[in-house]
A and B are shown apart, each in its own frame.
Chain A
Amino acid sequence: MIEVQRLTKRYGPVTAVDDVSFRAERGEILGFLGPNGAGKTTTMRILTGYMPPTEGKAVVAGYDVQEQPIEAKRRTGYLPETPPLYPDMTVRDYLDFCARIKGVPGGERTTRVKNAMARTRIADVSHRHCGKLSKGYRQRVGLAQALLYNPDVLILDEPTAGLDPKQIIETRQLIKELGGDHTIILSTHILPEVSQTCNRIVIINKGRVVAVDTPDNLTARLRGTETMFLQVDASGANPEDALTGIAGVRHVRVAETRGAVTALEIESEAGRDVRRDLAATVVNRGWGLLELRPMRMSLEEIFLHLTTEDAAVVEPRSGEVPVA
């Protein structure tokens, strides 16, 4: 339904989206998770045909967004980050205008508008001006606009931003309901949101896809392992085999060999600290222990950032390996 192939978007020297690929099948709810400024909005804007990519292509509902924009747009409903409302229009007039420009035939317009308003629970404000609505209502009018003509694909940029807790629950419920017959991509920087509503998660950070998986798998992956970074001067010997034998070590990978110095990544079982055993093994063999530290994977880093909502951004260290 949605296929994104090696999408790259540069603004001058800044690369906002870097070689992003993923796909979403019919009826799937795909969560687009990442901290602010990760490239979520840019990717969505490319998918909706708002801006062209620098490289790569996006196919929505079988149509290349660049080659056949009108056909692709006809099948896409889009809720941008700020709901695109005309403040001087009433909600009903606004939705009627949206239906017109989206090519809903005259006879169906009234029913479509009515249905969209009922689904998003905004019928009570249909005669109010969009400019006078509260943030929650604006968001829902924006959502109504996206649903209006029953598109195959729904692209929702932070659909629950600015809503109160009750509205958030209602909106998530609505998105889940819609998931059955629409393909939905929703972006958020709130972790619980995706784990509750989405079938699959794409984690994006600094313009790159870090992981694509189901919420359960991702959580398991994060809890399941711990990784150590080890640098030894093995003076010609092969440290890989020696270290694999240690109890609790699940996998050893050579990251880099520079002369006699070998850098290794050692995955261990969860909750088991193998640092002492690693150090002892290295020392017993008479090798030089140059560095040993726990390695945070960027996926975990993002999760941490997202779950704690910490303002301080954790800078990635060298030697890190993306999980994907």
Chain B
Amino acid sequence: MRNILAIAHKELKAYFASPIAYIVIGFFVLLFGYFYWALLLFFNQQSMRMMGLQGGPTQNVNEQMIRPLFLNASVVLLFILPMITMRTYSEEKRSGTIELLLTAPLTDFQIIMGKFVGAMALYAAALAVTLLHVGVLFAFGKPEWVPIVTSYLGMLLMGGCFISIGLLISSFTRNQIVAGMVTFAVFLLLWVINWVGSFTGPTTQAVLDYLSITNHLDDFTRGIIDTKHLIYYISFIAFGLFLTARSVDTERWRG
């Protein structure tokens, strides 16, 4: 555990020593803020209109504003998470520091977990800034807090899936740009994979829906913690990290 934290700490420090951390957090918060603003304007307009129509349905800030906000933000992750993961292994391989890690008394698992925790911490820091946006809603209204908490949980888990794939892809190459591009392409594919679902048979649709990482976020944004999705995300992360461990080990044999 101490070793994992030592590496996570080093990773986090490296993010903040380079522009990556600032770009990732800045970019994410900027886009989150834009969606927040756009949805808020739309929500206000809708509320005004409903008030005009006396006796119309009351607007729900959770359903109409917070949920779409997180669904939009999940798309932003496709762009920013490759920036976090692309350097994790590639840079160590290129600079030769991988030799330091692999000859230190550490297990491969500890190194991978350290990198995963470091990347998750940066991602969580970016998410934490958005608590301000959501907090403002509490100051002026009465949103339900349960769906908000589950949304954040879902966002963290979904980000974890992306980060575990990103680590795996970064372990394949010593070129950061290649790692970043491939990671981005894979993320996009995992996002759109169920779009053809309605044109295919029901079985194919079910499979594709299941594969789409973003699809599993939906229930979390509604305030539901379904074990089905929880297990999907956790096993996805575990599988990604396992494959990364295999990849690092194979690299050893190849030299």
Contact = CB atoms under 8 A, between A and B. Distances in A.
B17 A89 contact: yes
A88 B14 contact: yes
A48 B103 CA distance: 6
Contacts of A69: 105
B157 to A, nearest CB: 28
Interface in A80-138: 80, 82-89, 93, 97-98, 100-103
Given A86-B95, A101-B7, A51 B107 contact: no
A84 B6 contact: no
B252 A102 contact: no
Contact of A11 (B98, B99, B101, B254): B254
Given A11-B255, A101-B7, A82 B96 contact: yes
Contact of B102 (A50, A70, A97): A50
A70 B7 CA distance: 17
Nearest to B249: A52
Contacts of B103: 48-50, 73, 76, 78, 80
Given A51-B252, A51-B255, A97-B10, A84 B17 contact: no
Given A49-B103, A50-B103, A101-B7, A85 B255 contact: no
Interface residues of B, number: 26
A87 B87 CA distance: 14
Interface string B241-255: 000000000001111
B136 interface: no
Interface residues of A, number: 33
A101 B104 contact: yes
A84 B95 contact: yes
Contacts of B252: 50-52
Interface in A30-83: 42, 45, 48-52, 69-71, 73-74, 76, 78, 80, 82-83
Nearest to B5: A100
Contacts of A9: 255
Contacts of A84: 95-100
B107 A98 contact: no
B10 A74 contact: no
A145 interface: yes
Contacts of B17: 88-89
B131 interface: no
A74 to B, nearest CB: 4
A113 to B, nearest CB: 14
B196 interface: no
B18 interface: yes
A168 B43 CA distance: 72
A51 B104 CA distance: 13
A45 B251 CA distance: 13
A7 to B, nearest CB: 14
B13 A101 contact: no
A66 to B, nearest CB: 11
Contacts of A85: 95, 97
B200 interface: no
A89 B13 contact: yes
A101 B101 contact: yes
A42 B7 CA distance: 26
Given A51-B252, A97-B6, A80 B99 contact: yes
A101 B14 contact: no
Nearest to B102: A50
B72 interface: no
Interface in B87-117: 95-107
Interface of B: 2-3, 6-7, 10, 13-14, 17-18, 95-107, 252-255
9 tightest Cβ-Cβ pairs between the two chains A and B = A84-B100, A100-B6, A88-B17, A73-B105, A74-B105, A84-B97, A48-B103, A82-B96, A101-B104
